[in-house]
Structure 1
């Protein structure tokens, strides 16, 4: 269901970039005051946003959040084309050769000459020839349709070349080595593409093969039939030289260039000698071959390799140190929604990694699914919370207790099943594994770990499923992205679409949480503990008459102020009021506070003193507390 918000925010369009003639290009983002929302995970249509189809708006953490459709990077393009009516993204001008269109940043080879390579960059075609590099003594001749001979084995100067990552040498960063699944290594060098931007906008980063254009600009059409390259205009049919390595021509408004590829050098760039009137530099005269190398005060024999760090390895080749390093793919920061930047220890390249899906249960049960849909379901039976409905690798079931109330329920126990292991989590932090009570920490080697935090029990499994339980009623289930689209139960299917989370056991999409929740009932009916409700009992009227607002208002106070800009407390405040309606212990407000604090922590916001300020105890406190009347806080 899609809803329209009449007053979302006062839109201020931010300029993505400005062309040289001062005209504004379409907005790339929206800034302004944030509007709150009530239905977590719900889609929204916002009339005030231009090009509405280009934005996806939904309710997340109690705020309307709009994200523009992700577009390819336009950095470095000075021939930007306006989006067509059916498009949301700017495009960089492509190239046409022999009637075939090629997109910007693409390459292709001559059909009858695999060493002849073409590239298109911002509307300019660059032709060059590959220079092969064979870092082995006995290369295998090139196969039909291939340019370069191959080496058996996937190491370059001591650096392993994996199938998903290219490697370059530090002596010549324009050399690219790739390894296929059969363990065959190919290394080659090609000329850099001709750039279409003013010279003042060209930068050459240290250690990079090719210079690049900095910034971007709209395409300025040259006179009919003419060509534009950088700031120069060339008539159709005209030939010209950019430098000693590059000859270009203009034909039908398209610039085509032929650029010489310099050979692979054994010496670093700083030792190469530029010769007058020549395109390529050369190395000094060959020195005497030595049987060993010295690096950082240590001597290595000929052919010996060593690793400097996670990014760089070196080898001794006939008395010279040769090094290589992986080529990290470009990162479009910030990372996409529901992902984070990660730099794994021991690995060279950072990467954007999808975050685990988290399903939360708290209070008089309120559920937030893996995909972010928020709902309440007050069934007091046993239910399937989350399960792998594809591979059947795990299941998590919850038993809800009515606590002697007529309409409410709270999570009482959890049953986790992974293979032949069954973990039961109960009140007062009780833990059983395969029916036997265990002390924490507890471990089953390579399968299961049960640990404690300051306020919870954490069960971690080898398959990546994690369960956090506070011993009272707060529960979190975390699932890695490998389970995306494979799950079912009250926590939804984890497919990134909140709107289909109410899919029942038979695969039918429902609208009401009550029949949806009941469809996931498991076990015998004797597990249900709901007393029969009183006839004509007006619960809503009774709840409106209670004075629980001053307790729940703590969620909207300065105690949680550090998190209010990240997570709207309204949803948790309303849940708190519901929980207090039939609360048998008078401190059920703490369960919404716990859920709110955990959500804040997941977003990197610490609230270290909230328990002390609200007098909310942990499950560990209750486990060690002497028997007696329920604790009733008194707030001023």
Structure 2
């Protein structure tokens, strides 16, 4: 049977037919209990509340320990149990240990053992290269950057962070100017290399060394005895290939390059200063193939026909000849490579004076004729519009008031029909090969009056008549006779002509006097003004423009025109402006998209005077327009 008893303090059970009873064992009551009771029907005493120290607490009460504020106690059925108080969470990463062994953010701990005060700096024992500080429970650290030691084998002393040079022994010698290093004495200021990677110098008893910095390479190749890796080849982007170190090549006539241990080193040839003798000039472009530096060549020659008319020969002699026929101006009399003829006609009603009215040129089996209205005939057919290019022989174009003809021979012609001004330029290759009114181009003006039979004429008239072009249409053209227009006019008119032409000798042209003598042009000016009669201003301006053109050719630009002297009015309503030295490379809608170098290949005059389109504008249909407004072609 189960345990049973009528007495609550006994426990009975049936054992082999006998009822065996024993007294119930009661648990020990805590001495901290302040109220012990058996309870109704109970046998064993129970606790109701606790006594802790001098205080009593109800069952289930939680309270702090009186003798240890870090403990929290609880009363449970007369028994008091105490545990450590829980610590509050902190926001710092390296807190220190405060009261009750709880972390606090005033001060820091490092690696769990060492405590540091707030604001304290320290080097961790396990890492001398790290510098740390404590701030409100947080440890902030940064690593020390060590300087590069100036020696090949630096060592780091125990307990220190940075490596140091230990093999250098510096001794003060005498006045402390010399240095003792690597068992050797070095004088003050002496530079040396203790190894392949260092450059050292002795300064007042101290050795200062700098270690070479090696640049990064895309093709490193270590070589014994060198400090830094090297390259044994160079890559050429243009040719997409590698070349060995030491290989050299030419980039242009003036520049060459070589491969030097992975680096491309280029050098430009330095040209010496040239001082060309008289009659020679510095030849720069086009450069002879394969050559870089300029050299001296014979100066190109220029012959000018102007006024009524006057001819300045290739060798600089001035000839006055007023014939009214067709004449050989100049030609290649050795190989007949080219020929230039001029037609003169009377000025007004005076049959004794004339000016150039038409120009004929023969070159490369082509016949070119230009007249006083800039009409161009090619092989008997009128050219409808310019520019005209016959590759590679002839280029013809008009810029301002000047018509330009350029040939493959280097023979160049410019024609200002309004002022009857013609200029022919020939290269030095035609020296001593020419004949005609422009002379023989041998740098001797004394023999420029040479006739067809190689004799020297006695006068300009005899010389000019001798070079009349023979032909059926010229048979009826009479020879010119000697005539000076100033002889047949009054003293007042002669004086007026002299006064008008004095402007050539004035300060207005002073900057040009040193390069182009004004004497011959003054004489020609007086001659023409005397012949012009009532049109003196026209003849005066013709000669002044001729002299100004020669100045421009010599590199001196004289801005001589004014509102009272030979004013040239350009049609501003069409967009034109006057330019004393405008570009001969006229920009038009036809060539506006071409590179300037392509246009300039055919331009040879330094500049021309006349009506030009302003910068940024191009010529189209007789007016200046913005290049963006050119019609599509």
TM-score by length of 2: 0.47
> TM-score scaled by structure 1?
0.47
Task: Identify the structure with bigger relative contact order (alpha carbons < 8 Å, sequence gap 6+).
Answer: 1
Say which one has the larger Rg: 2
